[in-house]
């Protein structure tokens, strides 16, 4: 199995998971792949990288951090490669863009922690769902600032990523309570703020995140608890500006029930969507590496960072 196949399988089987992590993992794999590539011309090198990128994008469909990261390194490299010749300089250039993304992505998570932690008050009770590096960055930064916080972590069925969050927070000395997903409303009256990550942010400010997030947002709104999303800017989906919908990944049913149970209950249909969509009106703030935005203002951030203009599209 080559590096691309191994990376594809590790992402598909969630051996490596989390929207930011899979983006960095895929870019690292492309970097390693490029160093081993034999090619006949610059065009051939670019074509092989593009094919590898397209292949890796297919490993999981929802987190737009994955295609955005791959497009970032390939498009920037292509612009630079225009003026480059020779195997060494082409490979060096691509490698630099990969490292640039990995560094920017890691710094973004740290900055989200610094910016978002300003919104955490001493004594706050927080709730988080699943396992988001960006969300945990805010919570851990607030804890490092000696703010006295308590955190509820949901289990996050069916893959139990909430246990990873509970374990990380506890190892860092945070006061953590693990709860089952269906206990969220029971505890919500004690919660000041919910903090979750995102796999994708749509043009209208809707958040795509781990299944169950939208129910938690609904409970938070009803209980008047604040709902904060922590997400790097490369989780904004450019395609949604043009009307495309974000694909929600359907995971294997055996993540929910055993093969044995299913064989005894052949007429039971099992559905296992991995993500859901939280409407913008349930979200108080999106914390990115460059600042805090209301969900409806996410277009401004995208335009500012990537220079997107409606005029370009309509001409
Ligand atoms: P960070 C995860 O997806 C969760 O939905 C999490 O909230 C989101 O990615 C963002 O995570 P999965 O890979 O990028 O567990 O903030 O399905 O780490």
Alpha helices (H) in the chain, listed in sequence order: 3-12, 19-36, 42-57, 65-81, 87-116, 133-144, 161-171, 184-188, 213-222, 259-264, 298-306, 310-314
Catalytic (active site) residue 130 = yes
User: What distance in Å separates the CA atoms of residue 158 and residue 144, rounded to the nearest whole number?
Assistant: 31
199, 236, 287, best to mutate for ligand 1 pocket (most atoms within 8 Å of CB): 199
274 lines ligand 1 (CB under 6 A): yes
Q: How confident is the model at residue 315, as a pLDDT?
A: 46
Q: Which residue has the tokens 């706050």?
A: 124
| Burial environment of residue 260 by CB neighbours within 10 A (0 to 12, 13 to 18, 19 or more) | exposed
130 lines ligand 1 (CB under 6 A): yes
Q: How confident is the model at residue 3, as a pLDDT?
A: 95
CB 116 within 8 A of CB 225: no
Ligand 1 center–CA 36 separation, angstroms: 30
CB 209 within 8 A of CB 229: yes
Give the closest residue to 79 by CA, choosing from 63, 103, 100, 64.
100
User: What distance in Å separates the CA atoms of residue 95 and residue 27, rounded to the nearest whole number?
Assistant: 9
Residues 6+ apart with CB under 8 A from 141: 113, 114, 116, 117
Ligand 1 center–CA 311 separation, angstroms: 34
User: What distance in Å separates the CA atoms of residue 163 and residue 160, rounded to the nearest whole number?
Assistant: 6
Long-range contacts formed by 138-141: CB under 8 A, 24+ apart: 138/112, 138/113, 138/195, 138/228, 138/230, 138/287, 139/169, 139/174, 139/195, 140/113, 140/168, 140/169, 140/172, 140/174, 141/113, 141/114, 141/116, 141/117
Nearest residue (by CA) to ligand 1, atom 13, is: 18
- Catalytic one among 199, 260, 276, 284? 199
Nearest residue (by CA) to ligand 1, atom 7, is: 197
Ligand 1 center–CA 275 separation, angstroms: 10
- Catalytic one among 130, 153, 244, 276? 130
Whole-angstrom CA distances from 283 to 48, 112, 195, 222 are 41, 17, 10, 12
Q: Locate 203 and state its tokens.
A: 């043009």
211 lines ligand 1 (CB under 6 A): no
User: What distance in Å separates the CA atoms of residue 250 and residue 247, rounded to the nearest whole number?
Assistant: 9
161 lines ligand 1 (CB under 6 A): yes
* Phi, psi of 278, deg, nearest 5: -100, 120
Q: Locate 217 and state its tokens.
A: 């947002």
- Quote the pTM value: 0.95
Domains contained in the chain, CATH given: 3-111 (1.20.120.420), 116-314 (3.40.50.10470)
* Phi, psi of 46, deg, nearest 5: -60, -45
Q: How confident is the model at residue 297, as a pLDDT?
A: 92
Q: How confident is the model at residue 69, as a pLDDT?
A: 96
Ligand 1 center–CA 269 separation, angstroms: 26
10, 15, 59, 63, best to mutate for ligand 1 pocket (most atoms within 8 Å of CB): 63
CB 302 within 8 A of CB 236: yes
Q: How confident is the model at residue 210, as a pLDDT?
A: 98
Ligand 1 center–CA 94 separation, angstroms: 27
CA angle 214, 217, 223 (to 5 degrees): 145
Question: What are the pLDDT digits (tens) for 200-211?
Answer: 999 999 999 999
CB 156 within 8 A of CB 183: no
Ligand 1 center–CA 97 separation, angstroms: 24
CB 201 within 8 A of CB 235: yes
Q: Which residue has the tokens 């995971």?
A: 251
Question: What are the pLDDT digits (tens) for 63-117?
Answer: 999 999 999 999 999 999 888 887 788 999 999 999 999 999 999 999 999 999 9
19, 213, 276, best to mutate for ligand 1 pocket (most atoms within 8 Å of CB): 19
Residues 6+ apart with CB under 8 A from 255: 158, 159, 272
pLDDT 10s per residue in the chain (315 long)? 799 999 999 999 999 999 999 999 999 999 999 999 999 999 999 999 999 999 999 999 999 999 999 999 999 999 998 888 877 889 999 999 999 999 999 999 999 999 999 999 999 999 999 999 999 999 999 999 999 999 999 999 999 999 999 999 999 999 999 999 999 999 999 999 999 999 999 999 999 999 999 999 999 999 999 999 999 999 999 889 888 999 999 999 999 999 999 999 999 999 999 999 999 999 999 999 999 999 999 988 888 877 766 655 554
CB 189 within 8 A of CB 124: no
Residues 6+ apart with CB under 8 A from 44: none
């Amino acid at each position: 199995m080559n590096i691309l196949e191994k990376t594809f399988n590790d992402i598909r089987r969630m051996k490596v998971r989390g929207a930011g992590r899979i983006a960095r993992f895929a870019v690292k794999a492309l970097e390693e792949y490029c160093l081993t590539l034999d090619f006949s011309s610059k065009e051939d090198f670019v074509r092989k990288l593009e094919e590898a990128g397209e292949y890796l994008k297919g490993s999981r469909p929802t987190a737009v951090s994955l295609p955005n990261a791959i497009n970032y390194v390939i498009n920037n490299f292509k612009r630079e490669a225009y003026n480059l010749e020779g195997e060494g300089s082409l490979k060096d250039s691509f490698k630099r863009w990969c490292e640039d993304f990995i560094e920017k992505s890691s710094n973004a998570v740290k900055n989200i922690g610094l910016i978002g932690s300003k919104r955490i008050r001493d004594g706050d009770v927080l709730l988080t769902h699943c396992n988001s590096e960006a969300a945990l960055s805010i919570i851990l930064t607030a804890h490092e600032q000696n703010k006295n916080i308590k955190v509820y972590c949901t289990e996050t069925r069916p893959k139990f990523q909430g246990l990873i969050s509970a374990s990380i927070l506890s190892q860092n000395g945070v006061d953590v309570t693990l709860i089952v997903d269906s206990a969220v409303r029971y505890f919500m009256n004690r919660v000041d703020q919910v903090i979750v990550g995102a796999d994708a942010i749509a043009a209208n400010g809707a958040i795509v995140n781990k299944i169950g997030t939208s129910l938690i947002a609904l409970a938070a709104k009803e209980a008047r608890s604040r709902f904060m999303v922590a997400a790097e800017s490369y989780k904004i989906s450019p395609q949604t500006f043009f009307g495309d919908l974000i694909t929600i990944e359907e995971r294997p049913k055996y993540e929910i029930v055993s093969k044995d149970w299913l064989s005894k209950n052949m007429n039971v249909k099992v559905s296992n969507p991995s993500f859901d969509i939280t409407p913008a009106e349930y979200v108080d703030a999106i914390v990115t590496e460059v600042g805090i935005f209301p969900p409806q203002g996410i277009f401004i951030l995208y335009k500012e960072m990537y220079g997107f203009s409606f005029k370009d599209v309509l001409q």
